[in-house]
Structure 1
Amino acid sequence: MADGSGSSVDRSRRTLQNLAKTLGCAPETFFGETAPKYLADAEELLQLMLSITDSSQRRRVLDFAQTVKAASDARIGDA
């Protein structure tokens, strides 16, 4: 229910699914041994991004992250 209605469990599930989709991971990533560090890193990255007031500087950070991701994907593809 896009209007925010439904149980808190349903809203939480949808929120985690949306967050996982945005981060490019499975919702299960948020549970288990690596979840706290993974979430802490994601939170720090978001806080840093939001604290950069200059849009061109935010774009540089995003470009860098995309470059790192592409390099990681290329290494995985070579394996």
Structure 2
Amino acid sequence: MNNTNWGADQDLLYKSYIAYVRSKLNYVCFLYGSVAASELRALEVINNNSARLISGSFRSSTIPGVLADSKFDPPGHS
């Protein structure tokens, strides 16, 4: 859906993420308190990678900066 020369803009990618990925994460957010920390970390990685892709950030960019630039909240907070 995205490349440096073609693809969807940041707003469309963000809306697609909210509709397809975040909706799935929020659907089971009531279970977050009863899962292992490693599984929560896996969900966090999905969120962070999505934020990097949408914002066009480099892998070396700091997560707080990427999340702020891409209007992301942690799963369960949207």
Q: TM-score, normalised by structure 1?
A: 0.33
* Bigger relative CO (Cα 8 Å, ≥ 6 apart): 2
The structure number with the bigger radius of gyration is 1
Give the structure with the higher percent helix: 1
Q: TM-score, normalised by structure 2?
A: 0.33
